[in-house]
Amino acid sequence: MSIQSIQTISTQPFSGQKPGTSGLRKSVPTFQQPHYLQNFVQSIFDSLEDYQGQTLVVGGDGRYFNRDATQIILKMAAANGFGRVKVGQHGILSTPATSCVIRKYNALGGIILSASHNPGGSNGDFGIKYNTGNGGPAPEKVTEAMFARSKTITEYKILAAADVDLDTLGELTLGDMVVEVIDSVADYQELMESLFDFDRIRTLLTDGGFRMCMDSLHAVTGPYAYAIFEQRLGAPAGTVQNGVPLEDFGGGHPDPNLVYAHDLVDVLFGENAPDFGAASDGDGDRNMILGHHFFVNPSDSLAILAANAKLVPGYKDGLAGIARSMPTSAAADRVAARLGIACFETPTGWKFFGNLLDAGKATLCGEESFGTGSNHIREKDGLWAVLFWLNILAVRQQSVEAIVQEHWQIYGRNFYSRHDYEGVDSDRAQALVDHVHAQMPTLKGKTFGAYEVDYADDFGYTDPIDGSISKNQGIRIGFTDGSRLVLRLSGTGTQGATLRLYLESYEPNIAKHTLDPQVALGGLIEIAEELAQIKSFTGMDKPTVIT
């Protein structure tokens, strides 16, 4: 490469380039500022060791600015000495597929362009994160190094070159670096076929008695869903809806929950509803599972997958352990106890599962925020969860509702709900947290109606593999009957703060399992309002989203 083709551009640091649990997320106009993206990409490269000549994987969820950002990253990777970049066709590669490709080809790591379930478009959100060689999100020591570098950066390197053709499969050169435009679906589909009984699922989907609907919310999983469900597994055309990725997700919010995936909800709760429905999010790592007029809580979904894992070829030999995020319900703990395996409680953020998976301590992992996955990659995986459910349905030949209700009969039901208050003024949200913190030392032993406080703390986690410590991961208020409230501020939004309230109550009595969760949790909802004064601090009469 001619040294004249590499440009060294002078720059100055931007404030606030600190990666959160899922990388750096800001509005599109913020990322479009001159040097902004380049500064952060150079900070990533400067934080890595021995990357000269190595392979990097690049892809994104297709949101606005995805293609422009991909071109910038390719030119910077060439200028910084990478040997090869595998990039998804059209710049698209789901987060689970990126993890798959990193692991399959022993890449140094990968850059994922996504703001996950956040809205897209020219005034929407954009995001970037780095995944390491195990295919998982960079651990805190790596992201801290990136942030430190972003505060002192004075220059970045970029190749002066024309844009790369991202639409044609094959190899080309960019300076001395090879750019390989890969089929976005092929490697991921091959991995799924190694885990699930595709022949049995195909029979389920083509025997005429079972119907499903997959909603990709105009996000990244559309091409994957068409290829796997309609082409490989033989589901009828039209099984996949909203399957064309759009830069603004069709004006929708690519978050697979009962509020934002309303097209799917209308289908599954409408007349002549199909037997099974699923939705995925912006970058393909989340999932929502529905049955005929029936919603499966994500916490229950994790527990049910674990309880039925031996029905699936890839997990027929059993599970090493289960891991769940702290706010996720304890339903999975009950399955782990019956199976005689460990259940780990971690902070929110998939990177905390990585060490457990790498060490062989856990096989299945899940978060209440519609994310489940396993040791097949190091990210949560939306379509994997859908295929897992379809494999179970194909073997058990029961409805979704029957499988869930039978699970509750065996294990009891963990009534569970999450209330999101989105776009709260950051100062008011912090004032609410401070208000609760001030009460915590005196809460133990206090009674609120039928509930007595057993403990009140701010969750901390010591990683059992590397000993790293994570503090202040969410307020927990537990009661003597096993019920609990959890309060935390989410780090995945870009506008104000999102306050999340989690409510959980265990009910062993089968006769009460059909209660509406909001009714069953009514007493805890009242206690949360009394303790946290949510309406007063947020200025909101009700949550933005209830799941």
Of the residues 116, 369, 374, 505, only one is catalytic, namely 116
Q: Looking at this protein, which amino acid is placed at residue 183?
A: D
Dig out the tokens for 482 from the structure.
Answer: 């096993």
Dig out the tokens for 154 from the structure.
Answer: 């004075």
Coil/strand/helix, residue 461: strand
- Whether the CA torsion 257, 379, 141, 48 is positive or negative: it is negative
Contacts of 519 (CB under 8 A, 6+ apart): none
22 tagged catalytic: no
DSSP 160-187: --PPP--SS-EEEEETTEEEEEE-TTHH
Query: What are 178's strand-pairing partners?
Result: 84, 173
Pairing of strands 287-291, 55-60: unpaired
Report the run of H or E that residue 37 belongs to, with start and end: helix 36-46
Phi, psi angle pair for 9, to nearest 5°:
-100, 125
Angle, alpha carbons 147-380-68 (nearest 5°): 55
Match 């809460």 to its residue by tokens. 443
Helix ranges (DSSP H) in 359-456: 382-396, 400-411, 426-439
DSSP 267-290: HHTSTT--SEEEEE-TTS--EEEE
Dig out the tokens for 325 from the structure.
Answer: 């995020």
Contacts of 11 (CB under 8 A, 6+ apart): 35, 38, 39, 153, 154, 155, 156
DSSP 339-381: HT-EEEEE-SSTHHHHHHHHTTS-SEEEETTTEEEETTSSS--
Distance CA 398, CA 245 (A): 33
Alpha carbon 385 to its chain's center: 12
Give, in order, the Cα–Cα distances in Å from 386 to each of 313, 325, 373, 393: 15, 20, 11, 11
Residues with catalytic function: 116
